[in-house]
Structure formats: structure tokens, C-alpha cells
Amino acid sequence: MNNFTKSIFSLCLFLLINPVFSQVNDETSKANPMLELLGSNAKTLGLKGNVKEMQEQKFSLDAKGKKIVDSVLSNNIYKFDKDGLTKEFEQNYSNTQSKKYFFSYTNKGYISHIDIETTDLSKNKDTSDTYLTNQYLAAVFSTVDYKYVKKKNILYKGEDQTEGKKNIRNEYFYHFNDDNQIVQIDYQSTDLTTKYIYDSNGLIKEIYSLKSGIITNKAVCKYEKNILINILTISTDNKTKLPNNETVINYKFDTKGNITEKKIVSYLYSPNGNKEFLEGNLYQYDYIY
């Protein structure tokens, strides 16, 4: 397993155990650490106008950047309240699983509680047996509770995930600078740390990932008109002048300035300098105002 594969695996594992970040799980979420506290709401997503609902569809792209026919991977629906906070989030994976999230918040807008309803659609193969069909489509319910303690510039977050008799406990520490920007997140349960460096415009320009206090890789973010368009990732054991991988992001916008289409394409660099296509995804958005 190469270093890029390891970093992708670590990110995917983190997304699986973090119900807040499961809302936005593409590469652009790396440069928006406030998503962990506030979730994907109208403000953190940068939506313009009074958006009441947003639909997001995810497709696969080929090496030429073309959408693969019948390649829809997921269909997500966000429902916002009058303050722009996400009150419901529905996550549907094609013919496999459906998840519904219902959110509560603290008076500071941090997520305090999530009710999750999960339906396994992949088991519904034999519809001739009504009993089995109903059994397979029965939802599994789980909850997530958050508690926060702020001391000076450090915010502690305790997370308790409960499903039946099973309970998972995670703890996080968020370090803020004087501009109220997150500069470091400690994932206490996994001994992982992420550090953020900002530019003069308040945008994240560098992200460092650490395991047990040792840097494992560095990501460099590039922007155009304050919009993230490129991420270069470099592992610490990289002896070349090239990055390990590159993520290129392209957008289309509507007349209000909201994203209608986002293309994210990732490439690997071989030791001899060849840039090879790794994967690509297309995200399409529709809004109800």
C-alpha cells in the first residue's frame, strides 16, 4: 500500500466514523475545518440567497473528464431551517444504503445531537417474500451526542455514538488563533493531528497531517478568486521534487453564485514524473429557494 493509498484510506476511515463530515466527503472538505463543528449548512457551504433545500448528485468521471453513463454513486438532499442550519440530511447510495440525519444545535450553532436512520437497500433482492422484504427494509436507528468545553483558545468536543447496546466514544481538541480560525485539530482517540496554515486572505494554504506527533504528509492548497481549485499532497518520505498526488477542481455557477457543477479529478505522480489519472467525480447541484 503506497503512501497516497494510505492517506486516502485514513481519510475514508475518518469519514466513516465521523457522522458530521459524512455530509461533505470530497477533497474540498479538507480546507474547511469548521465543517466539523457546524456541519454542512448554508453558511459553511457558502450558499447565496435564501436556500431552503439543496440536492447533490455524485457521478464517476473517466480519464478524459467525461461523465460515465449510469454512474450515479449517491444522491444527497440537504434541508435548511430559516437560519441556514441543516435540519435534515438524506444520503442515498445507489441500491445499497439510505441514511437520514436529523440535527440539533447549541446556542452557538455547534451540532449537539444527531438522530440517524439507516436502511440497508442491498438486502432487498427477493421481493416475492413480503416478510423478508419488510425485514430487510426495517431501519436501524442510532444517535450521536456532542458536549463542548471551551478553555481559552482550545475547544474540547466529546462525541458519543450509540447504536443499540453499542457505544463509540471519540474526543477532539480544536485550537483557535486570535482570529477565531482553527489552526489545529487533535483527534484524541486515534492519535492523529491536523494543522492548518492560513494566508493573508484567511484561506488555508497548507495542511499538515501528523500521526503520534510526526508529520506524515503536507497538502498545499491553491485558489483562484478565493475559490479552491488545486490541492497538492506530498508525503514526508517523498525524495522527488514532484508531489505524490494532485487534485484539480473545476466549478460552474448559477446566476446567484451558487455551485451547479463541481468536477474533482485526482492524479498520481510516479517516481519518473508521469502524471496518471487516479479517479474523478462530478457533483451536480439543484436548489429550492
pLDDT one-digit tens code per residue, 90-109:
999 877 889 999 999 999 99
CA distance 125 to 133: 8
State the pTM of this model: 0.85
β-partners of residue 19 are none
- Per-residue confidence (pLDDT) for residue 271, from 0 to 100: 81
β-partners of residue 78 are 54, 89
Let me know if 97 is exposed, middle or buried by CB neighbors in 10 A (0-12, 13-18, 19+). middle
23 contacts 89 by C-beta, under 8 angstroms: yes
Condensed to tens digits (0 to 9), the pLDDT of residues 122-168 reads 765 555 555 555 555 678 999 999 999 999 999 999 999 999 889 99
β-pairing, 182-187 with 192-198? Answer: antiparallel
- Per-residue confidence (pLDDT) for residue 193, from 0 to 100: 96
- Per-residue confidence (pLDDT) for residue 240, from 0 to 100: 86
Written as nine digits, the cell of 115 is 438522530
Domains of the chain: 3-56+72-218 (2.40.160)
Average pLDDT value for the chain: 87
Condensed to tens digits (0 to 9), the pLDDT of residues 115-135 reads 999 998 876 555 555 555 555
- Per-residue confidence (pLDDT) for residue 48, from 0 to 100: 96
**Residue 5: band (very low, low, confident or very high) from pLDDT cuts 50, 70, 90:** very low
Mean pLDDT for 60-86 is 94
- Per-residue confidence (pLDDT) for residue 115, from 0 to 100: 97
C-alpha pair distances (Å), 51 with each of 78, 82, 108: 10, 9, 21
Cα angle for residues 93, 97, 100 (degrees, 5° grid)? 90
Mean pLDDT for 230-244 is 92
Q: How does DSSP assign the chain, residue by residue?
A: --HHHHHHHHHHHHHHH-TTGGGS-SGGGGG-TTHHHH-S-TTTTT--S---EEEEEEEEB-TTSPBPTT---EEEEEEE-TTS-EEEEEEEETTTEEEEEEEEE-TTS-EEEEEEEEEE-TTTT-TT-HHHHHHHT--EEEEEEEEEEEETTEEEEEEEEEETTEEEEEEEEEEE-TTS-EEEEEETTTTEEEEEEE-TTS-EEEEEEEETTEEEEEEEEEEETTEEEEEEEEETT--SSS-SEEEEEEEEE-TTS-EEEEEEEEEEE-TTS-EEEEEEEEEEEEEE-
139 contacts 156 by C-beta, under 8 angstroms: no
- Per-residue confidence (pLDDT) for residue 227, from 0 to 100: 95
C-alpha pair distances (Å), 183 with each of 42, 174, 203, 226: 23, 8, 12, 19
| pLDDT over 90 (residue 276) | yes
**Residue 272: band (very low, low, confident or very high) from pLDDT cuts 50, 70, 90:** confident
Condensed to tens digits (0 to 9), the pLDDT of residues 165-209 reads 899 999 999 999 999 999 999 999 899 999 999 999 999 999 999
Residue 240 carries which side chain, given as an amino acid letter? T
Written as nine digits, the cell of 41 is 449548512
| pLDDT over 80 (residue 233) | yes
Which residue in the block uniquely carries the three cell numbers 491553491? 222
Mean pLDDT for 51-65 is 96
CA distance 244 to 236: 10
- Per-residue confidence (pLDDT) for residue 96, from 0 to 100: 84
Mean pLDDT for 49-74 is 94
CA distance 116 to 121: 16
Which of 66-70, 120-124, 196-200, 219-223 is the least confident region?
120-124
Condensed to tens digits (0 to 9), the pLDDT of residues 10-43 reads 333 333 345 554 555 678 888 999 998 998 999 9
- Per-residue confidence (pLDDT) for residue 30, from 0 to 100: 84
